[in-house]
């Protein structure tokens, strides 16, 4: 990139600590879990930024802190609004935050538990517009139909309930719900992990198309390294709350620098029978821990 681009999202020293309480009656605080520990990254407009790591590495906590679904312990989350202003989401009150939330949306992992089974598709997808008071009546209906069509669902199905849809279709409903707000940032937390490979490929293709059409920026949280490799422009590898390596996706996979990234990559079962995977990652990770 030759011309400097203003980041859409800038994290500065983001921390989220959870207290650990003792077993006794007094519930004394006996320690802290540093789920996110001093993370500073920039997301550029229009890019897909991958965040990979094992479960417990803090990636979901970090994603939730960005959207203020969790209150960070410390640090700043600078977000650029469509009008060009930048605001620190951490400092905003809930009232100040509400109008800003429409610009940053989330797509969840489990298409079965993230959709209310007692709401039909029109209400699920249209709810964000209602909450923000952006549309009602016929206009609401039109916008729901339009976004459903855009994610590859039939608008005629909008009076159906989630149980009538397959996993891939439900994930499209989740995407429609995020997209209807015309956000600039979408956080995808393991958005394709629960899907079969062929369905996963279709949903990833859809996300790519939507990105081009609406100039979306994705924070793509995933544990599947292969998905991140092809979907993302840049990738951050997270371990124990910290970013251990951040590089363009191609580089992370072809020339990983950090010992942990190398171990992580070696553990992926290759579909080529002649490329043997590393079954010994347990010992190697233990060695890495011992080395500090």
Partner 1 sequence: MIPVAPPSPESLLEVKNLKVSFFTSDGVVDAVQDVSFEIRRGQTLALVGESGSGKSVTAYSILRLVQSPGRILGGRIVLRSRREGDIDIAQLDEDSGLLFKVRGGLVSMIFQEPMTALSPVHSIGSQVAEAILVHQVVSAAAARRLTIEMLKKVGITHPAQRFDQYPHELSGGMRQRVVIAMALVCQPELLIADEPTTALDVTIQAQILGLIKNLQHEFGCSVLLITHDFGVVAQMADEVAVMHRGQIVERGSVREVLRNPQHAHTRALLDALPSRRGSPV
* Choice between 126 and 256, CB closer to partner 1: 256
Q: Measured between alpha carbons, how far is 167 from 141 in angstroms, rounded to an integer?
A: 24
Answer for which of 48, 200, 217, 261 binds partner 1 (CB under 8 A) is 200
Residues numbered 51 to 80 that lie near partner 1 (CB under 8 A) are 54-55
> Is residue 264 involved in binding partner 1 (CB under 8 A)?
yes
List residues bridging with 219 in a β-sheet: 49, 187
Pairing status of strand 234-239 against strand 242-248: antiparallel
CA 83 to chain centre: 24
Which residues sit opposite 36 in a β-bridge?
A: 16
At closest approach, how far in Å is the CB of 2 from partner 1?
A: 25
- CA separation for the pair 77, 101 (Å, rounded): 13
Least distance in angstroms from the C-beta of 163 to partner 1: 14
Cα separation of 151 and 5, whole Å? 29
Residue 282 interacts with partner 1 (CB under 8 A): yes or no: yes
Q: Closer to partner 1 by CB, 77 or 263: give it.
A: 263
Give me the count of residues in the chain: 292
The binder of partner 1 chosen from 6, 277, 286, 289 (CB under 8 A) = 277
H-run or E-run covering 248: strand 242-248
Find the shortest distance in angstroms from Cβ 277 to partner 1. 5
Q: Is 233 in the site for partner 1 (CB under 8 A)?
A: no
Of the ranges 3-11, 70-78, 131-139, 220-228, which one interacts with partner 1 (CB under 8 A)? 220-228
The contact mask relative to partner 1 for 180-199 (x = CB under 8 A, - = no) is ----------------xxxx
Residues with Cβ within 8 Å of 231's Cβ and at least 6 positions away in sequence, in order, are 48, 50, 204, 207, 208, 220
Q: Toward partner 1, which CB reaches closer, 95 or 163?
A: 163
| 268 near partner 1, judged by CB under 8 A | yes
Please report the beta strands in 62-193, taking only residues with DSSP state E, as ranges in sequence order.
74-80, 86-88, 104-107, 185-189
CA-CA distance, 175 to 288, in Å (whole number)? 39
CA dihedral of residues 229, 189, 160, 102 (deg, nearest 10): -110
Closest to partner 1 by CB, 54 or 141? 54
Q: Which stretch binds partner 1 (CB under 8 A): 42-50, 85-93, 114-122, 270-278?
A: 270-278
Query: Interface with partner 1 by CB under 8 A: which range of 15-23, 67-75, 211-219, 262-270?
Result: 262-270
Question: Where on the chain is the footprint of partner 1 (CB under 8 A)?
Answer: 54-55, 167, 196-201, 204, 223-227, 229-231, 263-264, 266-273, 276-282, 285
């Amino acid at each position: 990139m030759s011309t400097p681009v203003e980041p859409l999202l800038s994290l500065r020293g983001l921390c989220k600590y959870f207290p650990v309480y003792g077993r006794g009656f007094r519930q004394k605080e006996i320690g802290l879990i540093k789920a996110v520990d001093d993370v500073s990254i920039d997301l550029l407009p229009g890019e897909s930024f991958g965040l990979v790591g094992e479960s417990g590495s803090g990636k979901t906590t970090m994603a939730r802190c960005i959207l203020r679904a969790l209150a960070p312990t410390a640090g700043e989350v600078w977000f650029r609004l469509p009008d060009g202003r930048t605001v620190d989401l951490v400092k905003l009150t809930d009232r100040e935050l509400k109008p800003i939330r429409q610009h940053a949306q989330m797509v969840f992992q489990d298409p079965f538990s993230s959709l209310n089974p007692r709401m039909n598709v029109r209400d699920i997808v249209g709810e964000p517009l209602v909450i923000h008071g952006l549309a009602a009546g016929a206009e609401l209906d039109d916008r729901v139909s339009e976004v459903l069509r855009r994610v590859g669902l039939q608008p005629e199905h909008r009076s159906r309930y989630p149980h009538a849809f397959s996993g891939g279709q439900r994930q499209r409903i989740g995407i429609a719900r995020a997209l209807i707000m015309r956000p600039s940032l979408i956080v995808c937390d393991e958005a394709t992990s629960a899907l079969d490979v062929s369905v996963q490929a279709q949903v990833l293709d859809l996300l790519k198309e939507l990105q081009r059409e609406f100039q979306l920026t994705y924070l793509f949280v995933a544990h599947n390294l292969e998905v991140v490799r092809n979907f993302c422009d840049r990738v951050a590898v997270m371990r124990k709350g910290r970013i251990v390596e951040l590089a363009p996706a191609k580089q992370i996979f072809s020339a990983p620098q950090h010992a942990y990234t190398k171990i992580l990559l070696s553990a992926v079962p290759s579909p080529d029978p002649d490329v043997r995977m590393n079954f010994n990652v347990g010992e190697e990770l233990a060695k890495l821990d011992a080395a500090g």
